[in-house]
Amino acid sequence: MAGSARETSGALVLRLFGERWSIDLGAYADPDPLRERIRELWARTVDESAGPIDVVFAPDPDPGPEMTVTACTPRIPERTDGAFPYAFSRAVTQAAIERLAGSALLLHAAGLVSPDGERGVVLVASSGTGKSTAARTLGRRLGYLSDELMLIDAQERLQGLIKPLSIIVPEFPGGKDESSPDELGLGATPSAAPRLAALVCLSRAADEDQARLEPIGLHDLIAEVVPQTSSLWRVQHPLHRLAEAASRAGGPYRLRYAEIADTAPLVDGLLEATTETHETPETPETNGAGPRVAADPEAGTDARAAQEWIGHAPAPQQRWGDGDSQTGSGNDTDPPAGSDVVSAGDAPIVRSPWTDAIEQDGEVSVLVGPTFTRIAGIAATIWLRCAVSHTAAELVDALTEEHGPHPDASALVEAALGELAGRGLVRRGSIPETEAGQ
């Protein structure tokens, strides 16, 4: 259990992501008004039942030098100007992210649910670009999950941080005011986790004549969504799971609009769309993704079937770990990555450890720890070929076979290898025997 309780009277417990959070405001001079306002704003999460506490969230207005400030013991100044609830919401959001990191896909997104509570849509956007407005406007007709943080688990069930909505108010202390979903008349929050119906990126522009769902490439969506995730690399096969989620309801899509109210019929359509079954294996041996997964992570092989996208999951020995460098193999006995790979001569070249990768239409999206890279052209071909060891000369032959002859083939391969090595995607070395022999 995080933190330690300092107050017992008037205890406030919130149920967040299935856990009971005790809110301890005992460090404040007058905690009662703060507690009651939090109780009102977070009413949909208040848990009056008995049971053990999973998390103690104990902010402090002025932690002394003997206190360690953590996500569950943050510094939140004591304010009487109305700004405390927003600061509280921000701190709870950060604490929830840290607690849930690696357990599921965590997205900075709004979440809405169909009136029957069965299906949900995730609306991804960066801070200040429309999540709360979308939740406030569309949530009057639909159910409310969150305006800030959404979780998608391995079976594509949705949970949201059911927080008050943070509304920009010019000149208001802190910049935003908090309003509860009930104060705003938003639809009910289901007791059971709904299934994912669709995941889309929001794009608001004043010159949009008509709201529309714009089909976009999978790599484009991944590039937009990755910055709006938290600790993505700690999730098992994260790009596979993100690609599966984005492909629901015929996606990937970008929802373009000038006024969010105009998107209501489109969002209704996403919630009503018939999607493929949500059967998602949980075991790492099957990649933890759905039917489009083509790679075998246990054997480290790269299947090349004609599918909408092809997944390239690392074998356990190839998976990037916290000890790995993002510009090389992370092994102190290996030579430096960049120019040394280019001048490798007859030395074998292989992929550096990576977290996950998706291939489609001649491009590859690669995640190496927290670093996302998108590669195309001969760089993508080289990275794909380096699933097994190749010398530079063998790579020239392979690229000539795939792309045709070029008078500067050797120089082009050399340049591409330097770029890939600089990004920590290839290195000198060989596939470990435990992988190569399978």
Measured CA to CA, the distance from residue 157 to residue 328 in angstroms comes to 36
Instruction: Respond yes or no on whether the N-terminal peptide bond of residue 170 is cis (omega within 30° of 0).
Output: no
Tell me the domain boundaries of the chain. Answer: 12-98, 101-272, 297-303+311-436
Question: Residue 66: its pLDDT value, please?
Answer: 78
Q: Which of 360, 320, 328, 294 minimizes the C-alpha distance to 236?
A: 320
Contact partners, residue 233, CB within 8 Å, separation at least 6: 320, 355, 367, 368, 369, 370
Q: Please identify which residue in the block is written with the tokens 């990004």.
A: 423
Question: Residue 302: its pLDDT value, please?
Answer: 39
Mean pLDDT per block of 10 residues along the chain (438 residues) reads 47 96 96 96 96 96 85 92 94 97 97 97 91 96 97 97 92 87 97 97 95 96 97 96 96 96 97 61 34 36 53 94 60 43 71 97 96 96 94 92 90 93 90 50
Question: Residue 345: its pLDDT value, please?
Answer: 59
Q: Please identify which residue in the block is written with the tokens 């292989």.
A: 350
| CATH of region 101-272 | 3.40.50
Question: Residue 297: its pLDDT value, please?
Answer: 34
- Which 3 state secondary structure label does DSSP give 417? helix
> What H or E segment, with its residue span, contains residue 395?
helix 392-403
The conformational region for residue 102 under phi > 0 = left, psi -120 to 50 = alpha, else beta, is: left
For the chain, give the number of residues. 438
Measured CA to CA, the distance from residue 335 to residue 429 in angstroms comes to 9
CA distances from 172 to 77, 87, 127 (A): 16, 13, 18
- Which 3 state secondary structure label does DSSP give 193? coil
End-to-end CA, the chain: 43
Question: Residue 324: its pLDDT value, please?
Answer: 72
